Structure 1
Amino acid sequence: MTYIRETCGCCDCEKHCGALDIVFVIDSSESVGQTNFTLEKNFVINTMNRLGSMASDPTSATGTRVGVVQYSHNGTFEAIRLDDPNINSISAFKMAVKKLEWIAGGTFTPSALKFAYDTLIRNSKRERSKVSMVVITDGRFDPRDDDNLLNYICSDAKVEVNAIGVGDMFGKMQQTETLLSIACNNKKRVTEMRRYADLMAEDFIDKVETWICPEPITVCPDLPCKQEPDVAPCTNRPVDLVFLLDGSERLGNENFRHVGELVQRVADSLGLARSKIDRMRARVALVQFGKEREHTIAFPLTHDPTLISAGLEGLRYLDSSSDIGSAILYTIDNILRPGEIRRFAELSFVFITDGVTASESLEEAVSAMRRAHVVSTVIATRGDVDQAVLQKLVMGDQDAIFQGQEFSSLSQSSLLNKFIRWVC
């Protein structure tokens, strides 16, 4: 019994939401981008992980059922149905979601909403169940589509619709009016955010949980369970994390040593992939850069703690000038090569720099990051940073800039924990 408890997780408490049907409608158009589409799927999975249990029989009058519609242009809509007899557990649902592939076409949001209601809800509603729909899109859609369908679902008072609007991979912000129509003109059910990575924030998933299941009943097994350690943060989704270390003379030898300790701490805390073929969890790489064409790969994307430690130990401080633009282009060409990155993994660049750098190729490099669907973060500690450059590196997302007082204390501070939660 002890073995069963420790391996199957049967000691975990579960949230029961009563008779509840949940439908996620996720935008799979070209403007979303493959990395962001993966984040949408991970958001759906993480949200359901929070709820904890599903109806073992989809035809039952009680329990939670969940469905998903992914859409792009007309005729491409795909559905995981609420009443699919094969979706009878959280694990079965996760597997079905992971199999969804980015369509990368146009955007027929109004028609997709009609499809979601007609296909998943209209004929499979249960008499006493609450129906909650969560729509994720940037709000734009093909003008050939029928905009009268945006509030198609609003005619059914038993369905509650929440719209999440996210800026797309081209940096365009969401269309608020469209989102409001989707949410049946209820401003409280419209949430806007700048980037898809924000879907993974713990406080946001907390918020979504209250939308879907505002008054859960928590059921715990009556077993003398062994307390398990906390799960590493990146275990629930694939993240490929590349550190770009500014090895210029402004860093200094002492800070260079502290940066190595910081990277080691992060690698130890993330939850590294278990093998070369592991499609989940984290892998890490480190590139040190100086002036143009002065780049050193300490270690490529890897899950191997030994390789990471050896790479850090063998890395020598460049003590040079700084050219971030050329470093970004070098990293994309040499670290993100075809066959080296995992399908559906979030590509994350972490810049350790003060932003004082040559600027000739910076715009080109930032555009290249966008094309590669890279999510970027900055760690900076000096007071005299070039804020304009840091803003460019994070593509305007101020929340993605982590600033501390000094490197010597960074790996021991709450800032490190906040950073790890951010990238995971």
Structure 2
Amino acid sequence: MSLIPENPCKGVPLDFIFVIDSSRSIRPNDYEKVKTFIINLLQFLGVGPDATRVGLLQYGSEVQNEFSLNTYSTRAEVEQAVRNMEHLATGTMTGLAIQYTMETAFTEAKGARPVSLHIPRIAMVVTDGRPQDSVEVIAAQARQAGIQIFAIGVGRVDMKTLRAIGSEPHSEHVYLVANFSQMETLISVFQSKLCSDMCEVVDHQCQHICVSTPASYRCKCKKGYVLNLDGKTCSKVECGEGVVDLVFVIDGSKSLGSANFERVKQFVKAIVDSLDISRTGTHVGLLQYSTKVRTEFTLSRFATAQDIKQAVGRMQYMGRGSMTGSALRHMFEYSFSAKEGARANTPRVSIVFTDGRSQDDVSEWANKAKNAGITIYAVGVGKAIEQELREIASEPDDKHLYYGEDFDKMGEIANKLKTRICKEMCQCENVMRFQKQVTEKLKNLAQSNILP
């Protein structure tokens, strides 16, 4: 007797990728049960180029892409491809598979639709054992890149590992069953999640707009507002039309740690959300530094906040020394050059983040940058040195220096910094508008022969 409904649900279109453990610990008959589970799950998905697109990769010691999001256009073709899969029976490189999912499977070249279309990106990871590589950091990066991950464990899988993989809330995204036969009990669970309009069935508490995603939802703000760090309420963007060239200089040293580096990414995204980013609006660039300096993206690279946040989510943590002075030199000499997208007559601002003492001098290049008209905000956390922060920051200190004892203070700092930058953008806009008006009046007077 089939547990599957005759008609597909009317859920939103998805870009859906199965990430299947094909390690040697899975017995041949259990491998067939995984195939059956996938085929049954497909029955309530409306598969098609303009509906849900399905891809699948399996992994052992290596990743094997069975088919991409743009390979097949009907459910029947996908089902046949699943039946034709062959068991790899090798290792368990789950982290490698998640990395492939993020960096390759969900690219437009492989059939993922543009981020601007807001098609939910879903990855369903099915595994029966402990990974032979690290999953925590790469799974966090995948989630930050906008991939919603369901983690299904079978048998003796460590629940901690599943939670490190799956999206939050874990109660909606992480599942553990005793054996492969019990996977079928999850079909009705996923039918409910993938077919429901979550905004209609939960108390979402979104202040402005609720947007449903499978098993979850996200809050969105009306134009002219930004989402606060609570993910629910919205704040009006004052001076939304202010224009600056902004370069982040981000410490990626070993003392930070990969988990805190993810929190720094969130900090950057919060600032980006408060800005009016476009080709004619604010431009953003970003450097990461450790022992060396790396340009993650230049001022001219992206023209939307969404693209910038995606790039921030993909950043790889450097994790070595802390050469803040070198980073300041790079920012001064290259980041604000015309070649990298800096514009004439546009205010230049840099936000420098660090969590500890620099291994080189910061004062020389900070002073050169400030003397060249670059406004620098210094943000320090934890063991950051106050004297160094003062040397980096523009004056007055109380408007350009921010410090938190630990990373829990990052949200508070982000809110204060957004307000301060906004106010200064307003002042810059007003000054530039006044200068333009004066220039035009002088020009008119000259044309009227009132001035010599």
TM norm. shorter chain > 0.5: no
| Alignment TM class, shorter chain as reference | 0.3 to 0.5
Higher relative contact order structure (alpha carbons within 8 Å, sequence separation ≥ 6) = 1
Give the alignment's TM-score, normalised by structure 2: 0.40
Give the alignment's TM-score, normalised by structure 1: 0.43
Larger-Rg structure: 2
